[in-house]
Amino acid sequence: MSRRTPAAMVVCLGLAATTPLLAHHSAVLFDVSKTFTMTGTMTKLDWRNPHVGVFVGVKSDAGTVEAWEFETGAPAWFKGRRLARSDFDKAIGQQVTVEAVRAKDGTRYCYLYRLTFPDGNTVALP
């Protein structure tokens, strides 16, 4: 084994570890050219890495409630702006307004740009 082999292995492992991160943050999932705004009831919060999930029930034109999932920033991003899980938990069961972009595949999966809480406070997301 030459002296270069360990260094080459470290470089290869580093590249392999970052490849999923690059794919995960790909903008190809969402149609960023079309934002939309809707109001509904926050039904659930999934405070997880790498992205917090906000779930909202929105009444359709037919009168049924549709479940929408909104991906947001990481918990650490919110912590840096002095927002905690408890700030979001208070909105569960309450009416919220979201501004987002939708997944290109047409599902009700979106990336959240702005969330307005029931008290009128708004958080703009990365």
Which pLDDT tens digits describe the chain residue by residue (126 residues)?
Answer: 555 555 444 444 444 444 344 344 446 789 989 999 999 999 999 999 999 999 999 999 999 999 999 999 999 999 999 999 999 999 999 999 999 999 999 999 999 999 999 999 999 986
CA distance 122 to 116: 4
Q: Does domain 29-124 have CATH number 2.40.50.140?
A: yes
Q: What is the pLDDT of residue 5?
A: 53
Residues in the chain: 126
Q: What is the pLDDT of residue 98?
A: 98
Distance of CA 94 to the CA centre of its chain: 19
Strand pairing category for 65-71 and 95-103: unpaired
Q: What is the pLDDT of residue 114?
A: 97
Q: What is the pLDDT of residue 125?
A: 81
Q: What is the pLDDT of residue 25?
A: 46
Dihedral of CA atoms 19, 21, 22, 28 in degrees, nearest 10, equals 130
Residue partners of 85: CB distance under 8 A and separation at least 6: 45, 47, 75
Q: What is the pLDDT of residue 28?
A: 75
Residue pair 88/100 in contact (Cβ under 8 Å)? The answer is no
Q: What is the pTM of this model?
A: 0.77
